[in-house]
Amino acid sequence: MSTFNTTSNQSLLLLRSEDLFSQGKWAFINPLDAAVFNNIDNPNIIGLHQYHHHFSECERACSQAQYFGAAFGEGVFGETADDEKATDQSTVANSQANKADAIAKHSLDGVVIYMPKSKQQLAMLINNASYLVKPNGKVLIVGENKAGIKSAPKLLDKIGEHVNKIDSAKHCGLFAVAVTNPLPSFTIADYAQVHEYKINQQSMHIYSLPGVFGHKQLDPGTDLLLQQLTPESLAKTRGHIYDFACGTGIIGCYLAKIITKTKRVTMSDISALATYCSEQTARLNEVEVNIIACSGVAQCDPKFDVIVSNPPFHEGIQQDYSITDNFIKQAYSRSHPHASITIVANRFLPYPGILDAVYKGFTEVAVSNKFRVYGAKKFAKS
């Protein structure tokens, strides 16, 4: 049985139709738990994950093969997948032991997509799925009503005809289509955007994909944070720098570009899309950084001297303050004495209390009508 404490409503809905998945080769994209693997008697089901915490949990809990990557299928990363590495980490998005680009195109009987928050990401995943299934293979989408599952048929119409509503329960819906218009090829670069931003007079080229924070434009909170990180203010910065929840890589790559007295910048994110974007951003800006796909500071081996972040406060469509709560606590324990932390957050978020409790004090570095930048320092114990 599953080692997860809970089974998502999406998985419970899928298990009502488990006979549909009992035969043939199936893939579940971004499953929220292990239930579909441990409760459906089919060894030919695989998991395709863009989020590392679900990938690692399913890999531990399930016997079926699990893959982690920004996209799935042969050739999806183009020619740069293995030849143009910006990092030396083995845990970046397209460098897993089970490589996401090892799956043959048009080899699956069906794909089930757990609906993401971003509609553009969903459209990209639908196209990716149509590239993986055989002619007339099935693509299904399961999602919550409040996440917009009722809009899924319009997207499924683009790859097939006669979209069917399979089931609805537990405030979720399940839709399916037989793929009559499969994609002959799928390359993740076709969905990418490259933006150029001027940050404190420093030109930065930022690579982004649907589903990654800051995809369409520079987030105003991140912008406020970066405005405080001027070359003059960082002139004496040394040691190991860490960018938590790196997204497109704009913060970590900017710091790597302007701080000449440090040779180590580590960036991490839970999302394979984000780590892939950060990898490409590092390549575009010709900086050397370490990029790690993981859930937080605790999974990074070294300790840090400077920590900078625009930390998330959502898990999917749900607000989750525990992400940053845990990050701040782990940042303190995983940093050297006298290490600093600088974060930006929406004004309504309760981070001052957390910083004060953990660091025994903090400063308000900058404020706008929506955001605040906070700074704190870890002092050596007397």
pLDDT tens for 293-327 read 987 776 777 789 999 999 987 465 566 657 888 89
2 located within any domain = no
Q: Are residues 168 and 204 in the same domain?
A: no
pLDDT of residue 91: 44
382 located within any domain = no
127-169 pLDDT, tens digit per residue, is 999 999 999 999 999 999 999 999 999 999 999 989 999 999 9
pLDDT confidence tier of residue 350, bands split at 50, 70 and 90: confident
Under a CB-based contact definition with an 8 Å cutoff, are residues 207 and 249 in contact?
yes
Q: Are residues 54 and 203 in the same domain?
A: no
pLDDT averaged over every residue in the chain: 89
Q: Is the pLDDT of residue 89 over 90?
A: no
Tell me how far apart the alpha carbons of residues 285 and 127 are, in angstroms, rounded to a whole number: 30
Domain residue limits at 236: 192-377
39 located within any domain = yes
Q: Are residues 341 and 203 in the same domain?
A: yes
Q: Are residues 231 and 369 in the same domain?
A: yes
Q: Is the pLDDT of residue 5 over 80?
A: no
26-47 pLDDT, tens digit per residue, is 999 999 999 999 999 999 999 9
Tally the domains of the chain: 2
4 located within any domain = no
CATH of the domain at 309: 3.40.50.150
